[in-house]
Structure formats: C-alpha cells, structure tokens
Amino acid sequence: MPAERKGGVTISQVAEAAGVARSSVSRAYTKPHMLSPETVDHIKAVAKRLGYVPNHTARALSTGRNGNIALIVPDVANPFFPPLIRAAQAEAERSDLCVFLGNSEEDAEKEDKLLGRLSSQVEGVVLASPRLSDERILAHASRKPMVLINRNVEGIPRVLIDSGTGVAEATRHLAELGHKRIVYVSGPSASWSNKQRRAAARKTATALGLELSVISASVPSFEAGLQAVPSILSRKATAAIAFDDVMAQGILAGLAARGVSVPADFSVVGCDDALGALMVPVLTTVSGQSAEAGKVSVSLLMQLLQSDALGDACYMLETHLIARSTTSAAP
C-alpha cells in the first residue's frame, strides 16, 4: 500500500525518465563524485521536474542508518530541560539528525518503556537525568550507543554538571551572611544531581559549623516546594537551598503566603538558573549549564556513532553561585 498521499516518485521513475540506471540516480544524491558532473546535473534536473524526494525509510533499510537520535528527559515542563532540548536539537541538526523527544514523567518504569520503544528507531540515545537503575541503563546501553546526562555510570559516556561546587559556594555564601541553621530541600532521590547537591551542602555546612537539615520531596515541582514550607519553618531555619529553581519558586510562594518576607526574614537559594531572572525578587541560584550539557551530549553521541568505542568519556561542567536578591544577612 504505497499510497504516500501524493507524488510517490521513486528512484526508478527518475531513472527511466532520465534514461539512466537506478543506481546512477541513487549515486547522484549520495556519491555525486562517482558520476560525471553532467550526468548529475541531468539527473537532478529530471528528479526536480518529477518532484522526486528520496525516501528516508528505504535508505535507512539498506544503509542501516536512519539519521535519528532519541533524547529522553524526565519532564519537558521543568524549565531546566527546554534549553537542553533546544541545544541538543541544534547540535543534532548540524549533523543532519532528527531527534525524538521522550518524556519519562520522572518515572523509572516509563523511562524503561520509552527506551524500548524508541531505541528501535534511532541510532543512539541521550538519556538526561535518568531515574533508572544502573543495571537497566547498562542493559540498554549495550544495545544502543548511549550518552548520559547527570548520571555517573562508569563505562557509559556521560556529561555531568558539577553542581557540587556551586552548592558549596552557596552554603558558604549563607554562612558569610550569618545564617546558622539552614535547610536543604531535596529533589528526586534517584537523581544523581540531587545526591551530589545534598552531599555538597552537608559537607560544607559541617565544615563551617552550620546546622543543616534535609527535607525530602520526590518530584521537583512548584507544588513540592510549596508544601515543604511548613516543615522548613518548623525547623527554625533562616535559609533554604532548594534542589532546583522550580522548588525554590514554590518555597518563595509558600513563604509569601505565610507573610515571611524574602530576603529580609528568610533567604532562599535555587539551583540550575532556570528561572532565576524570570521572577521578582530575582533568585539567588547556582548556574545551570543545561544548554551546554545538551550540546555536548549530542556531540559526544555523534563521536560514539562514528568511532564506536569512545571509552569511558566523562565530561564535567562547572557551576558557580549567582548571588541575586533572595539572600541577605540572617535576621
């Protein structure tokens, strides 16, 4: 049923119309240097007149390359990801690749299913902030070239955003402002970033003699931040570091609702710089690098596709504190 809506011009039709072999038409597009320039011109002219468009699928079947890659993120709606997506797409386009976007909704099982469904249609996968277990990741990586973002699995090429340094800076920043009791509002426990941030906050707090307590949330959402507020206030803390900007925003809303003014009565720090500048007061946060991560991961994947083995590549991106208006001296 080769309907193809309209047109459906094939290589054979072009070949016949041009009076050449099918292979020549094929080569006119893929290996023009093998043909005489005149032949190429002639074929292309005829093809154009007929409205010929090479069939991607057929090409993929014989070459084994389909020119597609998959990008799987936990949540498109989280402002951390759009810049990453955009950068990944831009980088993919440079190599003439299309990208399938998958959305795991922060759910490991869904992520697993997505990988299964998509991997048969792509040449490689970029897995951003996976919630999956190491075993499953390794299993998938063994069948398809894969690059990880923000997940440290040895043997799989990965790009890591080292938010540890930024969070440490943030903690120090709060200490310098005179805060004594601070809270870290945690994100998804399966998230590498979260572990890293929490660890950095704890280590630095201990070193500087701050009291740090941790509040857990499973999903990094505005809601989760909002709901963490009572718990934060009950701990008598004067500052909070949130897993990400979205949660920070939730926390700010919750504080405002309770009449706690920021930064006068309470200081808040976000992470990722995803919305920092898009709110009032502008948010003190840790720089994000999500776009860079998207770009690098795709280019890494492309290397992987070409040279096959790329070993244990691990690309680390630095972060630092961006002090804006939601932090000030402890009350």
In this chain, which of 28, 85, 148, 321 binds a copy of itself, going by CB under 8 A? 85
What is the token pair recorded at 24? 């020549």
Which of DNA, a copy of itself, none does 230 bind, CB closer than 5 to 8 A by kind? none
**Interface stretch with DNA, choices 36-44, 99-107, 231-239, 267-275 (CB under 7 A):** 36-44
Integer-rounded Cα Rg, in Å, for the chain is: 26
Of 208, 222, 144, the closest CA to residue 179 belongs to: 208
Task: Measure the CA angle with vertex 128, ends 124 and 133; round to 5°.
Answer: 90
Which residue of 41, 45, 51, 61 would you call a contact of DNA, by CB under 7 A?
61
Site string for a copy of itself, 152-171 (x = CB under 8 A): --------------------
Binding of a copy of itself by 68 (CB under 8 A)? yes
CB of 37 to DNA, least distance (A): 7
Does 120 bind DNA (CB under 7 A)? Our answer is no
- Within 10 angstroms of residue 151's Cβ, the number of other Cβ atoms is 21
38 touches DNA (CB under 7 A): yes
- How does strand 211-215 pair with strand 239-242? unpaired
Q: How many CB atoms lie within 10 A of CB 16?
A: 15
Does position 67 bind DNA by CB under 7 A? no
Q: What pairs with residue 127 in β-bridges? A: 72, 148
Which residue in 11, 35, 83, 147 binds a copy of itself (CB under 8 A)?
A: 83
Helix (H) or strand (E) holding 169: helix 163-176
Among 130, 93, 65, which Cα is nearest to 298's? 93
Q: Which residues bind a copy of itself (CB under 8 A)?
A: 1-7, 53-58, 60-61, 63-64, 66, 68, 75-77, 79, 82-83, 85-86, 89, 98-101, 103, 105, 117-118, 120-121, 142-145, 222, 249-250, 252-253, 256-257, 277-281
